[in-house]
Amino acid sequence: GQSLEQPSEVTAVEGAIVQINCTYQTSGFYGLSWYQQHDGGAPTFLSYNALDGLEETGRFSSFLSRSDSYGYLLLQELQMKDSASYFCAVRDRGGSYIPTFGRGTSLIVHP
């Protein structure tokens, strides 16, 4: 089977930097994705890492270490609108490319 661990909640202030960690245990591994979901809304894709290292997309960056089965999402220059749930997901079913999601991290940004 597969399991993903991420913190249930993280709080930070506007303008700060926050890191959301994700550790995973899977029988196979084909990549780590991150999704953002605002309350009651649709999850939206943020980033994807298949290889070790850092991927940067604007204020958001995502990191992967396959040897440690670990990744993180880094959010810089936090804004109030970044308050949302963030899910990591691993692709561990190679033939189907379907991600398995973690339980999500609720990020609360304070003024």
Q: Which of 63, 39, 38 is nearest to 52 (CA)?
A: 63
Give the nearest distance from C-beta 12 to another protein in angstroms. 21
36 within 8 A of 43, measured Cβ to Cβ: yes
88 within 8 A of 22, measured Cβ to Cβ: yes
Amino acid at 5: E
Shorter beta-carbon distance to another protein: residue 58 or 111: 58
**Single residue of 27, 67, 97, 111 touching another protein by CB under 8 A:** 97
If DSSP codes are grouped into helix, strand and coil, which group holds residue 87?
A: strand
Binding mask 39-78 toward another protein (x if CB under 8 A, else -) reads -xxxxxx--x-x----------------------------
Contacts with another protein, residue ranges (CB under 8 A): 8, 30-31, 33, 35, 40-45, 48, 50, 87, 91, 96-104
